[in-house]
Structure 1
């Protein structure tokens, strides 16, 4: 029996999942990664949607930008140009050639899921939502790009508008985003799997089934299929849904049905 067969059985005939104990361990690991991919799909879709919203909102902001140019480490605009703050659903944007705002001001603007961007007098600032995800993946949620470093030297309003109009997300960026999403999803799935296996192993001991811990781990992995699919569908509907309890609870129920025909050990004599 292979993983594809066990996948079908996990949806329509869970009593056959006890055969998973004979699967090679490396195939079980690959199947766990496959389940992580299913769980990562809703979050990946959400991130792609956010990035598309940021691009569209960036184009709206660019249309309101006055003429400017970055040179000699400074943001230069006409004398009669005043700074402004413009907010969309995904971006809070600051344009401040007069130097009235600070990095702290721009960072404080970032609330909810909005990204705060600022063309200040001497640097460009990016402040991501303070959710902990940026800190874990990027090491920080605030980034500064001083004009004196030369990275943005020569940038002007026309270049920025043209760049936003022509911008598209390359495939490798999408792949990187997916990998970043898959990693924490896989770690969380492994934690849930260990909890399920501990409960399944305890149940097996109480029922005197001839199952080792590794056998319970293999069966539990395939028992997670249905709850993982249900959880993924629910995440498409409600992005804030906490799926850990659902996955653990339903997986244990599936495991109980899967092993009910297992052979039992002889009870010890009194």
Structure 2
């Protein structure tokens, strides 16, 4: 029996899944990766949606920018343009050529998961949401780029608007995001499959089925197909849905149905 046949049985014919014990272990590993990809799809879709929202919001903000240019370590505007604060769903933007605001002021504007950006008189500021992720990965969630360093020297409103209009997410960035999302999903799925296998192996011993631990693991992997698909679908509706219990519980139920045709040991005589 091949992988595709077992996949079909995992959706419609649970009683034949016991034959998964005959599958080579490397194919089972590939199938676990396949299931992880299914679980990763709604998460990566959400990430790409957020990135697109940031791009769209950036274009809205750029349309409101007055003429400016970074030169001689200062943010210089035409016609004494006034500063403003503009908020979208993903960005809280500060434009302050008069020097009225500081890094702490811009960071304090942050609400929820919004990113705070600021073109201040002497520096450009990025403040990420205070979720702990930035601190653990980057050491801080606040970044300052002083104009005096020359990194942004010559930047002007027209260049910024053109860059935002032409901005697209490169394929390699999408691939990196997908891989980074896939890794923790794969680890979590492996942990859940091992938990299911422990319960399944205990059940098979109590029922005197002739199944080893790795036999149970192979069968359980295919039994998890339908729960994984259901969980992925529910994640598209609600990204915060905790799928671990659903996958473990439903996979065990399917395992109980899958091994009914399996041979048993003879009961010891009393």
Do they fold alike, i.e. is TM over 0.5?
Answer: yes
Aligned equivalent of 1:153: 153
What whole-Å deviation, never above 9, does each CA across 1:124-174 have from its counterpart, x for those lacking one? 222333345555666654433333443322111110011111112221122
What whole-Å deviation, never above 9, does each CA across 1:53-109 have from its counterpart, x for those lacking one? 111111110011112212333322347222221101111111122333232332332
Asked whether the 8 Å contact 1:23–1:218 carries over to 2, the reply is yes
- RMSD of aligned residue pairs (Cα, Å): 2.1
Q: Which stretch shifts more, 141-150 or 216-225?
A: 141-150
Aligned equivalent of 2:221: 221
| Matched residue SS, 2:93 | strand
Aligned equivalent of 1:108: 108
Distance 1:182 1:28 in 2: 17
What whole-Å deviation, never above 9, does each CA across 1:160-215 have from its counterpart, x for those lacking one? 01111111222112212211221221122112112211211221222122222211
Distance 2:174 2:132 in 1: 21
Distance 2:240 2:143 in 1: 27
Aligned equivalent of 1:243: 243
**CA 1:106 to 1:192, structure 2 compared with 1: closer, same or farther past 3 Å?**
farther
**CA 1:264 to 1:243, structure 2 compared with 1: closer, same or farther past 3 Å?**
same
Aligned equivalent of 1:166: 166
Aligned equivalent of 2:27: 27
Aligned equivalent of 2:192: 192
- Give the structure-1-normalised TM-score: 0.91
Distance 1:140 1:218 in 2: 44
**CA 1:140 to 1:13, structure 2 compared with 1: closer, same or farther past 3 Å?**
farther
Instruction: Give the alignment of 1:2-21 within 5 angstroms.
Output: 2-21=2-21
Distance 1:72 1:187 in 2: 51
What whole-Å deviation, never above 9, does each CA across 1:28-47 have from its counterpart, x for those lacking one? 11111111111111111111
**CA 1:52 to 1:254, structure 2 compared with 1: closer, same or farther past 3 Å?**
same
| Matched residue SS, 1:178 | helix
Q: Tell me how far 1:240 sits from its aligned partner.
A: 2.1
| Matched residue SS, 1:125 | strand
Q: Which stretch shifts more, 73-82 or 229-238?
A: 73-82
Aligned equivalent of 1:68: 68
- Give the structure-2-normalised TM-score: 0.91
**CA 1:4 to 1:117, structure 2 compared with 1: closer, same or farther past 3 Å?**
same
**CA 1:237 to 1:76, structure 2 compared with 1: closer, same or farther past 3 Å?**
same
Instruction: Name the count of aligned residue pairs.
Output: 270
